[in-house]
A = this chain, B = another copy of it.
Amino acid sequence: MKISIIGLGLIGASLATCLKASNAEVTLIGYDQSEQATISALAKGTIDQAATTAEEAIADADMVILAVFVEAIKHILAEIGPMLKPGTIVLDVGSTKAQIVEAMNLLPDTVQAVGGHPMTGRLTQGVDTASANLFQGRIFALCPTRHTTVDTKNIITGFVESLGAQPLWLDAYKHDEYVAMVSHLSRLLPIAVITAADQKDDLIWKLAAGSFRETTRLASEPLGFWRDVFATNPAGIATTLRDVAAQLEHFAQLVEANDIDSIADHSQQAEQIWQRLYGASQRGEKNA
């Protein structure tokens, strides 16, 4: 079985490492837009064959895995679609899913396609940090497309399980809305809070508390790959931001009505959810 991996960053290279470790029968063809990354992956034995273009990489593949940014996945899908041999299964591992599934829906009827998102909890890039156990025990979200038969679903479920991950099939729009809330929001909220505080006069910074440091810490670095996430999940992010804004308005009305009991009820409920997710009995680290 020939598997092509487009993109040899952290996820792509880890997938390759994991596939080599678990299945000797597979031939891995790798391609990265960085020639250096491709050559390095070949030299390390992470891949079996190096391709010099995406077209070359996918030419004879039974399965194609797209492990690049979401915007790039959309372009590659449009580019390689007509060249895929009948029966090929395409899987991507991008962070947002709706736009990718829409692009996959435009592929020829002769190919199969599934949107994927491994929740690895790791954001660093590069083949050097690739790890065969990156997916171990992690949720691997999977989104069906117009080209996902029951057979394909079974094959991809098995594939994900062979990585040690937990397949979680869900609708792409739901994925994007939910992931916006539990992941993308974390990066936007600190920016919004500092921007709101910055509307006041500079005296406010003298009062900035230790808790403010924690609340805003994720704003301490450049956006990096989040640009791609924000650009490709407008609906999920907008819904989430408005959901949270509505809660803030609700809380504003509660404090104005001096209804601290209701705030305390919300707090108690939130505390229980937090403890269930992350408390002492849970593993310390979760998906990202």
Provide the bound-state CA to CA distance between A188 and B121, in Å. 26
CB proximity to B under 8 Å, residues A203-222:
203-222
Do A183 and B211 touch (CB < 8 A)? yes
B189, A177: Cβ atoms closer than 8 Å? no
> In the complex, what residue of chain B is closest to A274 when comparing beta carbons?
B220
A243:B275 contact, CB within 8 angstroms: no
Contacts A/B (CB < 8 Å), 7 sampled: A141-B207, A185-B212, A190-B274, A209-B286, A220-B275, A245-B246, A248-B248
Question: Residue-by-residue, is A129-141 near B (CB-CB < 8 Å gives 1, otherwise 0)?
Answer: 0000000000101
Q: Are A192 and B238 in contact (CB under 8 A)?
A: no
Asked if A77 is at the interface (CB within 8 A of a chain B CB), the reply is no
A278, B223: Cβ atoms closer than 8 Å = no
Copies of this chain present: 2
Majority secondary structure of chain A interface residues (helix, strand, loop or mixed): helix
A255-B243 contact, Cβ under 8 Å, with A203-B170, A209-B186, A222-B267: no
Q: Identify which of B193, B212, B219, B264 contacts A223 (C-beta below 8 A).
A: B264
What are the 8 A-B residue pairs with the smallest beta carbon separation, nearest first?
A: A186-B211, A245-B245, A194-B270, A183-B209, A192-B247, A238-B252, A210-B288, A241-B252
Interface residue tally on A, bucketed by range: 35 or more
Distance of A141 Cα from B276 Cα, bound (Å): 39
A242 touches B249 (CB 8 A): yes
Residue in B203, B217, B244 whose CB lies within 8 Å of A193: B244
Mark the stretch among A17-25, A59-67, A153-161, A226-234 that contacts chain B.
A226-234
A273 to B255, CA, bound (A): 29
**Min C-beta distance of A93 to chain B, whole Å:** 15
Contact A248 B237 (CB under 8 A): no
Bound Cα distance A218, B215 (Å): 9
